[in-house]
Amino acid sequence: MFEDVTMAYRLLFVCLGNICRSPSAENIMRYLIEQAGWKGEITCDSAGTSDYHIGKPPDKRMQEAAEKRGIALVGSARQFVAEDFDRFDRILAMDLENYHNILALDRAGIYENKVYLMCDFCRNYTVKEVPDPYYGGLEGFDRVIDLLLDACEGLLADIRPHLD
């Protein structure tokens, strides 16, 4: 669901299958951007490092957890591709495995400065990775939404100086 706005600051959120964590981060960030009145200044997309769920919508359990906070999860899964390095200003991995899988596609090592761990932007949580809730209970989906809300708010504050 990448919005091609050439002057906008572009974010890509990446997890394994692109049906739980990364589409949640993408849609949470869109929600926060709209609340801040910065629509059009920052664009978001999400992708997965695997091809397991290409074309599928966000997981229903994840959608329900987001809806509790008034956030709709939309989009369809796609796989991360090397061209994404040039298309985005920041690439945000949900965990270390995704981080390393992304950087493995950057054989020349020229895009490392664009790739971050999502939890590096948390303000209230001290975890280093966004856990994958896929095989767990419903409380895991709620925890991921809370964690991503925190990280997205921190990321938005970090990006703000780049918009001036």
CA 47/CA 51 separation, integer angstroms = 10
Catalytic residue list contains 21: yes
Listed in sequence order, the residues at least 6 apart from 73 whose beta carbon sits closer than 8 Å to its beta carbon are 23, 24, 27, 57, 58, 62, 63, 66
List, in sequence order, the alpha helices (H) in 5-164.
21-36, 60-67, 84-87, 96-104, 138-159
Q: Which of 15, 119, 122, 152 is catalytic?
A: 15
Catalytic residue list contains 89: no
Q: Which of 45, 59, 95, 132 is catalytic?
A: 132
Catalytic residue list contains 15: yes
Q: Which of 21, 61, 78, 143 is catalytic?
A: 21
Catalytic residues: 15, 21, 132
